[in-house]
């Protein structure tokens, strides 16, 4: 079933839900009921009544019964007055009707199965014949402000899941159940990776020692990769003057996402919300000629975003983020090679982390919004979008083009990836900037001796530590590959007389930079083995009488039922290679 038909199916079911709600609560006021990625919802004002979760089953039963009568949609175009009369007493529908009329658009009412709603269309022609009753399920109840504004009334949002078949619905539910087991918030706590503290502040993660290991390993990977790719590392402050963000355009466009300014020495300073203006200042600190370009400046820069409390979500939406950022300053002739190299770097990372499914989401501008949402440079927009499009096509990289989602200064690519269980994440970005370098007066001397402005590529292949680690926790279900695992080996002596050898092996591993922990024999062996397995550690070494007699050690590998014996030297060689190669 194609996306458009599936969307129509889901929107149709939103209407069927609305009818079921009114049968149970005749005085409820309906608002909006759109299709969404995995189904549909309808926002309803139940007045002072708080509906229980048990009502979902009642609504669902009514929907399945009523669906038999939904055999044909009809619609009629009505005047503003007729529409207001049809929905008299419903302030939400009245607001929508007035807005539609002000825009000069048609006002249409759609009817099916004896139920009529204000709607612009997008339904199945014969829902009874086209929708299987086992292909949808009401999922949950949540609160939602009318039109998404906290200034408006809180409504009741009823969510439903809907797919092309019962089998597809069951597969989605199974995926969601697996996702719940992999939830980075639960695993992150269980594995002692990070924490949040009300004492520190909402959305400000504290990396615990085990989580700190993952942060350091990712940064090490990025630094090695960028070193080989010819990047230079820089370091910039966490605050800057108001004038810098005015020049960059971030204050006019993103002020709502920035922390309030600090008044100091007669001026205003802002916490850094993005690294790019600082890197432009680094570029400007020295003069450059065409021989210097491309210049690639990289930094793990700490940024701060004033996200709303209700939008914070584990590591996926935080207020302090550490970004794998870099800015490439190049000539127009160098652009294609540089942009392609960034995309190639993404693909290399996907291979390292076992990401098999990905797509580049190519965001372009809306010509009607130049000067409003986008810088007013129509020729440069067309030129740079054509350049990006050509690189994607020539590189044979899977991409989709999305209008009206570009950055204010140029087209961008958001990298969409799918985890091991098929969940979609937005992880990284690759952006073209043809406007801001000019604002900052960034220049280089061309071969002909003229003064030119470079193009700038903003890129962050690993996104932020926070979001990327959240993705990795769920992708690997906490079973990190050896090179990334917070603890790589546990060493367990069976009894007290095995402790001397166990400590000796622990020291050898430690001296080879293996992250190893020693569990002495004070607890019983079964409890210690469970601790090692629950921690999802790749390897557990158990030292007993037979190991001492054979001059060997027993290695239990995560996910395998039986252990194997080998010498300490062979195991060190094996694990050292795994770590060096960053094997999956």
Question: Is residue 435 within 8 Å of residue 377, measured between CB atoms?
Answer: yes
Question: Is residue 149 within 8 Å of residue 156, measured between CB atoms?
Answer: no
Residue 506 per-residue DSSP state = H
How far apart CA 181 and CA 13 sit, in angstroms, is 29
| Closest by CA position to 314, among listed 199, 160, 429, 472 | 472
Question: Is residue 197 within 8 Å of residue 206, measured between CB atoms?
Answer: yes
Q: Output the six-digit token pair for 62.
A: 């009514």
CB under 8 Å, gap of 24 or more: what pairs does 579-582 form? 579/482, 579/483, 579/488, 579/513, 579/514, 580/483, 581/483, 582/221, 582/352, 582/481, 582/483, 582/484
Task: Say how many C-beta atoms besides its own lie within 10 A of residue 25's C-beta.
Answer: 16
Q: Output the six-digit token pair for 78.
A: 């009505």
pLDDT at 380: 83
SS3 112: strand
pTM above threshold 0.85: no
Sign of CA dihedral 329, 301, 260, 305: positive
- Look at domain 3-173 and name its CATH class: alpha beta
pLDDT at 436: 87
Which residues does residue 327 pair with via DSSP β-bridges, in sequence order? 297, 458
Residue with tokens 């770590």: 579
Angle (nearest 5°) at CA 496 between 490 and 501: 55
Which residues does residue 44 pair with via DSSP β-bridges, in sequence order? 30, 156
**Crossing angle, helix 166-182 and helix 465-476, to 10 degrees?**
120
Cis peptide before 294 (omega within 30 of 0): yes
Q: If one looks up domain 188-238+272-476 in CATH, what number appears?
A: 3.30.930.10
Cα separation of the two ends of the chain: 35
Neighbouring residues of 397: CB distance < 8 A, sequence distance ≥ 6? 343, 347, 360
Domain boundaries, the chain: 3-173, 188-238+272-476, 489-581
What's the longest Cα–Cα distance across the chain? 94
How far apart CA 438 and CA 458 sit, in angstroms, is 15
SS3 435: coil
Q: Which CATH architecture has domain 489-581?
A: 3-Layer(aba) Sandwich (3.40)
Q: How far is C-alpha 261 from the geometric centre of its chain's CA atoms? A: 28
How, if at all, do strands 39-45 and 29-30 pair? Answer: antiparallel
How far apart CA 256 and CA 311 sit, in angstroms, is 14
Which residues does residue 407 pair with via DSSP β-bridges, in sequence order? 410
Q: Which residues of 239-251 are buried (b: 16+ CB within 10 A; e: fewer)?
A: ebeeebbebbbbb
pLDDT at 525: 86
How far apart CA 499 and CA 492 sit, in angstroms, is 8
| Closest by CA position to 459, among listed 276, 253, 278, 305 | 276
| Closest by CA position to 187, among listed 469, 445, 376, 391 | 469
Sign of CA dihedral 223, 229, 232, 238: negative
How far apart CA 313 and CA 323 sit, in angstroms, is 17
SS3 522: coil
pLDDT at 429: 84
> What is the SS3 assignment for 33-56?
CCEECCEEEEEEECCCCCCCCCHH
How far apart CA 14 and CA 508 sit, in angstroms, is 63
Question: Is residue 131 within 8 Å of residue 63, measured between CB atoms?
Answer: no
Question: Is residue 125 within 8 Å of residue 8, measured between CB atoms?
Answer: no
Residue with tokens 């189904």: 39
Radius of gyration of the chain (CA): 29
Q: What is the mean pLDDT of each run of 10 residues along the chain (584 residues)?
A: 88 97 96 94 94 94 96 93 94 95 94 94 92 94 91 95 95 90 93 95 96 96 96 96 91 86 92 94 96 96 90 92 94 92 92 92 87 81 89 89 85 89 85 88 96 94 92 95 97 91 94 94 86 90 89 90 89 96 94
Q: Provide the Cα torsion 72, 77, 79, 80; round to 10°.
A: 70
Residue with tokens 């005015």: 246
Residues in the chain: 584
How far apart CA 236 and CA 367 sit, in angstroms, is 35
């Amino acid at each position: 079933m194609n996306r458009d038909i599936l969307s129509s199916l889901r929107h149709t079911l939103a209407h069927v839900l609305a009818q079921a709600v009114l049968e149970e609560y005749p005085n409820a006021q309906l608002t909006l009921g759109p299709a969404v990625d995995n189904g549909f919802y309808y926002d309803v004002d139940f007045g002072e009544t708080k509906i229980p979760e048990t009502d979902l089953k009642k609504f669902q039963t009514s929907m399945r019964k009523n669906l038999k009568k939904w055999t044909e949609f009809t619609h009629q175009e009505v005047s503003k007055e007729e529409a207001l009369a049809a929905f008299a007493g419903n302030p939400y529908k009245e607001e929508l009707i007035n807005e539609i009329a002000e825009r000069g658009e048609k006002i249409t009412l759609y009817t099916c199965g004896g139920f009529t709603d204000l709607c612009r269309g997008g339904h199945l022609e014969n829902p009874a014949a086209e929708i299987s009753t086992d292909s949808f399920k009401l999922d949950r109840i949540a609160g939602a402000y009318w039109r998404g504004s906290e200034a408006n009334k809180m409504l009741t949002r009823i969510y439903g899941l809907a797919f092309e078949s019962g089998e597809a619905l069951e597969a989605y539910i199974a995926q969601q159940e697996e996702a719940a087991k992999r939830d980075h918030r639960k695993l992150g706590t269980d594995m002692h990776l990070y924490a949040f503290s009300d004492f520190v502040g909402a959305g400000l993660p504290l990396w615990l020692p085990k989580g700190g290991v993952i942060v350091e390993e990712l940064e090490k990977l990025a630094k090695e990769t960028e070193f080989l790719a010819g990047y230079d590392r820089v370091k910039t402050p966490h605050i800057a003057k108001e004038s810098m963000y005015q020049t960059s355009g971030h204050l006019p466009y993103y002020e709502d996402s920035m922390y309030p300014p600090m008044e100091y020495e007669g001026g205003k300073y802002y916490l850094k919300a993005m690294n790019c203006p600082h890197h432009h200042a680094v570029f400007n600190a020295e003069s450059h000629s065409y021989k210097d370009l491309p210049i690639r400046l990289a930094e793990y820069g700490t940024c701060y975003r004033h996200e709303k409390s209700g939008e914070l979500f584990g590591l996926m939406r935080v207020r302090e983020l550490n970004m794998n950022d870099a800015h490439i300053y190049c000539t127009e002739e160098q652009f294609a090679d540089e942009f392609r190299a960034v995309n190639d770097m993404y693909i290399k990372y996907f291979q390292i982390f076992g990401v098999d499914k990905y797509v580049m989401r190519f965001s372009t501008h809306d010509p009607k919004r130049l000067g409003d949402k986008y810088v007013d440079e129509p020729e440069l927009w067309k030129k740079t979008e054509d350049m990006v499009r050509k690189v994607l096509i020539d590189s044979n990289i899977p991409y989709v083009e999305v209008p009206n989602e570009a950055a204010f200064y140029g087209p961008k690519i958001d990298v969409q990836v799918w985890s091991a269980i098929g969940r979609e994440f937005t992880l990284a970005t690759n952006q073209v900037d043809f406007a801001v370098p000019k604002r900052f007066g960034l220049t280089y001397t061309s071969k002909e001796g003229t003064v030119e402005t470079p193009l700038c590529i903003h890129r962050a292949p690993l996104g932020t530590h926070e979001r990327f680690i959240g993705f990795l926790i769920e992708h690997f279900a906490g079973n990190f590959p050896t090179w990334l695992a917070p603890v790589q080996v546990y060493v367990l002596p069976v009894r007290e007389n095995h402790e001397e050898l166990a400590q000796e092996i622990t020291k050898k591993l430690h001296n080879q930079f293996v992250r190893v922990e020693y569990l002495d024999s004070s607890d019983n062996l079964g409890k210690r083995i469970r601790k090692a397995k629950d921690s999802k550690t790749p390897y557990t070494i158990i030292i007993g009488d037979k190991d001492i007699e054979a001059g060997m050690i027993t290695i239990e590998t995560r996910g395998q039922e039986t252990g194997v014996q080998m010498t300490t030297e062979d195991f060190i060689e094996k694990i050292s290679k795994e770590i060096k190669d960053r094997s999956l």
